[in-house]
Amino acid sequence: MFSKMSGNRRILILCTGNSARSQMGEGLLRAAGRGDLLVESAGVRPGSLRPEAVTVMREIGIDISAHYSKSVDQFIGQKFDYIVTVCDNARETCPIFPGDAVHIHRAFPDPPAPGEADEATTLAAFRAVRDEIREWAAEFVEEISR
C-alpha cells in the first residue's frame, strides 16, 4: 500500500489545531519507528497542546510534554516522504508540498473540546483515540519497513 523508502523517512502529520491527534501521532510514530523516522506534526490553525494528550501518552511511556503546536506554514517548502492528515479539515486545507510525498488520510475521532465533557469522559475519549492511532502507527511502520 505504501512505498518503502530508503534511509530515514520524513513524515509530517497534520491536523486542524495540532493540539491532540497529530501530537499523539507524532509521539507514537517516533516510538514505533525506533529512530528510523523523522516525524513532525503541525496544524492548519494551530492551537495549544492539550494536557489530556500529554497525560494519556505518559500512561504508555511516551513523553510529549515538550511538544508545542506548530503551524503547517513553517514546513512549506520542505520535502517529506509522507504527509499524513488525521482529520478531514486538514485534508481539505493541506497545502501542496514539493516532491513525491505519499499523501495518506486517516481520520481519527476528535476528542471532546475543553469543557464539553467531564474529566473522566474526556480522558476515556483521549485514550480511545490514542489507542486507535497507536494501532494505525504500528501497521504503518510495519508496512513501510517491508
Q: Which residues pair with 40 in a beta bridge?
A: 12
Burial of 119 (0-12, 13-18, 19+ CB in 10 A): exposed
Per-residue pLDDT at 98: 62
The verdict on whether 21 is a catalytic residue reads: no
Give which of 4, 1, 46 is closest to 22, Cα–Cα: 46
What stretches of the chain adopt beta strand conformation (E)? 9-15, 37-43, 82-85, 102-105
Second-level CATH architecture of 9-140? 3-Layer(aba) Sandwich (3.40)
The verdict on whether 92 is a catalytic residue reads: no
Q: Which residues pair with 15 in a beta bridge?
A: 43
**pTM (predicted TM-score):** 0.90
The verdict on whether 81 is a catalytic residue reads: no
Per-residue pLDDT at 42: 95
Per-residue pLDDT at 92: 75
* Residue stretches of the chain with pLDDT short of 50: 1-6
Catalytic position from the list 11, 12, 14, 15: 15
